[in-house]
Amino acid sequence: MTTAPARDVVEIENLSVTFATDAGDVDAVRDVSLTVGAGEVLAIVGESGSGKTVTARSILGLLPETALTRGAILLTSKDGSETHDVVTLSRRGLGEVRGRDAAMVFQEPSTALNPVFPVGWQIAEGLRAHGDYSKKEARAKAIDVMRRVGIPDPEERVDHYPHQFSGGQKQRIVIAQALALDPGVIIADEPTTALDVTVQAEILDLLRRCRDEFGTAIVLITHNMGVVADLADRVAVMYQGRIVEQADVRTLFSAPVDEYTRQLLGSVPRLGEGRARTADRAGARAPGWQEATPVVEARDLRIVYPGRLRRPDFVAVDGVSFAIRPGEVLGLVGESGSGKTTIGRAIAGLTKVTGGSLTVHGAEMNGMKERAFRPLRERIGFVFQDPASSFNPLLTIADAVAEPLVVHKRAKNPQEARGRVDELLEAVQLPKSFGDRFPHELSGGQRQRASLARALALDPELLIADEPTSALDVSVQKRVLELFDELQRELGFACLFISHDLAVVDLLADRIAVLYKGELVEEGTGEQVLGAPQHPYTQRLLASLPVPDPDEQALRRAEWDRLR
């Protein structure tokens, strides 16, 4: 796979793309040159705004009208017979090369499939655009590609609609659509970002087979260094619209040259990093700590969302027991639908407990009345996942951070609370002057810091952090996690840290609890859970997580294959 490719299927020369926006022109891509050899996997990595997606989309001429493209993008057909410059192609010419010479796999499979047509029809549409196929031929071809991407019973499922497939299956169908015409190159734009880790591993495996069995080159756009290490042959790192480094995958990970690349690789959380820290903390605990009354204790906790209109109830959390002691950080890990967020919300009194027992600060939450719980609220802080919506767009940051102080009568109004607000902003390493700004004037990372300041305003004994960094870029995530750790040590609050990312949880948590379909399958220290997982699901989850090291990842992949 690292053998020199016979020829290039994509050759980008001095590509620049400029977008017209409300704020003026934005240079999304500046003077990028790249080549993709036949049968090669080129990963373009970078954080938000690096221009990686724009570069990839421009290969198919899929940019909106507001984009202005300069340079050349030469696209060669798989058999090498034709080469076109996509930048200058007419609309008709673009229609001919799209799908035939290059195809695209999208980030969000649920929006890439048309909800009102059967999937087989949608696969056939791509075929029909490039030649005459009878209904029967097109259908046979669609069944064939569906089987090749691993959809069971393709003969029957070819007539199903997208909503009848799971997320991972949908992405398989999107890949089937791309493969239908056997293009020379597939452009995969964050193909696994919307998927759970265990599903991600399967889709990466499928993409690898595309390359091996169909000889298709892949341009892989991703922000995830683990995914890069898993799949790529060669890597181009983009930063602010430029390529800062291009190298063979092993070289890049073992000897990164560019400063930014090094910083990026250094920011990626790695499994096992947190072990020493956890041991330190455990050693420093006062004797008798084990016997202290837990801040939160769940016993056979059960949370059911009632079904409406004769539909069955949805059991989000089923028989979960755990405890969080004062000053302890419990990491809660699970995939979508595992119930992890529901547990966090139940502790904060946002979701009703329907069975079992959940005590928070000694108060029983099962059957709790809001009025009775309100006084306890000042002892709980909450950090939400989405930095974009966690602040009222009409209030300044200072007003928002002051809100808990005002509500719990520590201050009469936001002005009076300003002194404390400034302290808090400083504690989360934001300049005081940011208090006068509105939320949209802050970046995602800054907003999460402010969110942390608001959660800590009343000096709570318990903090619930629901995926606080999952919407952030890795370098930003790293700084927020460090801040979090510092504050936790300094203030000593107990914490429930919810995340889908094992490596992130491992960094911060004293103990890790793994949730699977509403049930708690494993609990223990990072060393126990990550070092010697007992439950098959934990094992699978762990093996699915790609690590940012190509050689180690190859070993893990073998382990994952074994577990499958």
Partner 1 sequence: MTTTTTEPTGGGGAPDATPTAARQRRSGGLGSYLLVRFLLIFPTIFILVTTVFVLMRLTGDPITAAQGGRLPAEELARRIAEAGYDRPILVQYWEYLGQLVQGDFGTAISDGREISDMLTSFGAATLELAFYALIVAFAVGIPLGRLAAYLRDRWPDAVLRVFAILCYATPVFFAGLLLKLVFAVNLGWLPVAGRASTGAEIQLQQQDSSTGIYLIDALKLGDGDVIQDVLEHAVLPAVALGLLTAGVFLRLVRTNVIGTLGSGYVEAARSRGVSERRLLRKHAYRPALIPIVTVIGLQIALLLGGAVLTETTFEWKGLGFQLVEYLQARDFVAVQGIVVLAAVIVALVNFVVDVIAALIDPRVRY
Partner 2 sequence: MATSTTAVDAPADVPAPGRRPRGWRGLPVIRQLRQSVGLQRGMLVAGLVLTGIFLVTAIFAPLLAPFEYSQLRDPSGAFGAQQAPSSDHWLGTTVGGYDVLSRVIWGTRTALYVIVAAVLMSIVIGVLLGLVAGYFGGWLDRVLVVVADAIYAFPSLLLAIVVGIVLNGGESSLRGGIMAAALSITVIFVPQYLRVVRAETVRIKAEAYVESARVIGASHWRIMSRHVFRNATRTLPLILTLNASEAILTLAGLGFLGFGIEPTAAAEWGYDLQKSLSDVTSGIWWTSLFPGLAIVLVVLGLTLVGESLNDLADPRLRTRRRGPVTPADVGETSVVPGSPSADTAYLDGKGPA
Minimum distance, C-beta of residue 175 to partner 2, in the bound complex (Å): 18
Strand, coil or helix: what is 421?
Answer: helix
Q: Which of residues 179-218 bind partner 2 (CB under 8 A)?
A: 190, 193-194
By CB under 8 A, the residues from 383 to 442 that bind partner 2 are: 384-395, 400, 403-404, 407-408, 438, 440-442
Residue 359, binding choice from partner 1, partner 2, none, Cβ under 5 to 8 Å by partner class: none
The interaxial angle of helices 418-427 and 397-407, nearest 10 deg, is 120
Sheet holding 355-360, edge to edge: 314-324, 296-305, 355-360, 363-364
Which among 272, 194, 193, 185 has a CA at the least distance from the CA of 226? Answer: 193
Residue 114 touches which member of partner 2, partner 1, none, C-beta under 5-8 Å by kind: partner 1
- Say how many residues touch partner 2, by CB under 8 A: 90
Q: Which is nearer to partner 1, 280 or 370 (CB)?
A: 370
Nearer to partner 2, 46 or 183 (CB): 46
Least separation in angstroms between CB 48 and partner 1: 9
Binding mask 246-285 for partner 2 (x = CB under 8 A): --------------x-------------------------
Identify what 438 binds: partner 2, partner 1, none; CB under 5 to 8 Å per kind. Answer: partner 2
DSSP state of 414: T
Q: CA dihedral in degrees (265, 267, 272, 273; nearest 10)?
A: 120
Exactly one of 377, 418, 500, 557 binds partner 2 (CB under 8 A); which one?
377
Closer of 100 and 511 to partner 1 (Cβ): 100
CB of 464 to partner 2, least distance (A): 8
Binding partner 2 (rule: CB under 8 A), the pick from 46, 269, 526, 546 is 46
Nearer to partner 1, 111 or 413 (CB): 111
Contact 316, 307 (CB under 8 A): no
Contact letters for partner 2, residues 327-366 (x by CB under 8 A): ---------------------xxx----------------
Distance (Å, rounded) from C-alpha 389 to C-alpha 196?
23
Between residue 447 and residue 466, which ones bind partner 2 under the rule CB under 8 A? 451, 454
- Contact of 514 with 198, CB cutoff 8 Å: no
Q: Which does 552 bind (CB under 5 to 8 A by kind): partner 2, partner 1, none?
A: none
Region binding partner 2 by CB under 8 A among candidate stretches 87-95, 129-137, 145-153, 171-179: 87-95
Instruction: DSSP for 202-247, please give it.
Output: HHHHHHHHHHHHH--EEEEEES-HHHHHHH-SEEEEEETTEEEEEE
Cα-to-chain-centroid distance, residue 100: 30
Per CB under 8 A, contacts with partner 2 among 220-249 are 221, 223, 239-240
Which does residue 226 touch among partner 2, partner 1, none (CB within 5 to 8 A, set by kind)?
none
Q: By CB neighbour count within 10 A (0-12 exposed, 13-18 middle, 19+ buried), where does 89 fall?
A: middle
Give residue 406's region: left, alpha or beta (phi > 0; psi -120 to 50).
Answer: alpha
* Contact flag: residue 315 with partner 2 (CB under 8 A): no
With CB under 8 A as the contact rule, the residue among 9, 37, 58, 195 that binds partner 2 is 58
Q: How far apart are CA 76 and CA 80, in angstroms?
A: 6
Residue type, 542: L
> How many Cα atoms occupy the beta-carbon half-sphere of 32 within 13 Å?
36
CB of 335 to partner 1, least distance (A): 5
Cα 338 from Cα 514, distance rounded (Å)? 9
Q: Indicate the SS3 state at residue 295.
A: coil
Site string for partner 2, 474-503 (x = CB under 8 A): -xx---------------------------
- Sole binder of partner 2 in the list 85, 258, 519, 527 (CB under 8 A): 85
User: HSE of 417 in the Cβ direction (CA atoms, 13 Å)?
Assistant: 25
C-alpha 11, offset from chain centre: 30
As measured in angstroms, the least distance from the Cβ of 65 to partner 1 is 9
Q: Which is nearer to partner 1, 334 or 550 (CB)?
A: 334
Instruction: Select from partner 2, partner 1, none the partner in contact with residue 78, using the beta carbon and a kind-dependent cut-off of 5 to 8 Å.
Output: none
Are the C-beta atoms of 349 and 417 separated by less than 8 Å? Answer: no
User: Which residues 6-35 are close enough to bind partner 2 by CB under 8 A?
Assistant: 18-26, 28
- From 448, 545, 454, select the one nearest 506 (Cα to Cα): 545
**Which string of b and e fits 202-212 if b means at least 16 CB within 10 Å?**
bbbbbbbebbe
Choose the contact partner of 66 out of partner 2, partner 1, none; CB within 5 to 8 A by kind.
Answer: partner 2
396 makes contact, choosing from partner 1, partner 2, none, with CB < 5 to 8 Å by partner type, with: none
Residue 68 binding target from partner 1, partner 2, none, CB below 5 to 8 Å by type = partner 2
Amino acid symbol at 81: S
Tell me the closest approach of the beta carbon of residue 281 to partner 1, in angstroms.
27
